[in-house]
Amino acid sequence: MFFDGQKRLPALANFNMIKQFLKTDIVYCILVDFQLAELAEIISDLKSHGRKVLVHADMIKGLSADEYGAIYLIQNCHVDGIISIKPKVISIAKKRKVIAMQRIFLKDSISLKRSLEVVENALPDCLEILPAVSGPLIKTIKEKVNCEVFCGGLISSEKQIQDCLDSGASGITVSDPTLWINKSHLN
């Protein structure tokens, strides 16, 4: 299991969120919305505090969200993992032995079918489903993919988090600090 049992992965989008994160005992985080020029220093600082860092390659300003951007993140920034919607980025992450989390967006049964086909070919370590869903759909997805499934996007309550976990999700990704600060003892 990835993330050492941590079920809430905070998505950090600014320096205040990083400061809040460093006051917790949470180990893994996701960086989004930062500029490429800031990234190496941020990651180095987080790692100096014993944290593990995933970067959402598609959401870094100035980074080419392709296989070359992934190589840059791995070689120059020493990330622990990469999140992307792009199968080539996932493939590079797996080859370079960092956590490869593929993000998919579900809006209807056609997008579900196509996304699952992409995931079956890319073979990510983890799958992130947006928007967060619960119920039988998670079970259906888990039966089709051989990886951990995380829910993210539009999570706004503890009940929603619990519903995702109770439905079989391995965890959630969440940007709202009220849903991850002082919650590391939960789930």
Task: Give per-10-residue mean pLDDT for the chain (187 aa).
Answer: 93 98 97 98 98 98 97 98 98 98 96 95 96 90 93 95 95 96 60
Residue 13's Cβ-count burial label (10 Å; 0-12, 13-18, 19+) is middle
pTM over 0.75: yes
The reported pLDDT for the residue numbered 137 is: 92
Give 35's strand partners: 61
CA dihedral of 31, 105, 170, 46, whole degrees rounded to 10: 0
40: Cβ contacts below 8 Å, ≥ 6 apart: 76, 77
The reported pLDDT for the residue numbered 185 is: 46
Residue 180 CA to residue 187 CA, distance in Å, equals: 11
What the block records as the tokens of 94 is 């797996």
What the block records as the tokens of 166 is 């109770």
End-to-end C-alpha distance for the chain, whole angstroms: 15
**Which CATH superfamily does the domain covering 2-179 fall into?**
Aldolase class I (3.20.20.70)
The reported pLDDT for the residue numbered 183 is: 61
The reported pLDDT for the residue numbered 24 is: 95
Q: Where are the domains of the chain?
A: 2-179
The kind and range of the H/E element at 106 are: none
Residue 163 CA to residue 119 CA, distance in Å, equals: 24
Say whether the peptide bond before residue 131 is cis (omega within 30 degrees of 0). Answer: yes
- Helix pair 109-122, 136-144: axis angle to 10 deg: 30
Q: Residue 58 phi/psi, 5° resolution?
A: -80, -10
Residue 155 CA to residue 5 CA, distance in Å, equals: 20
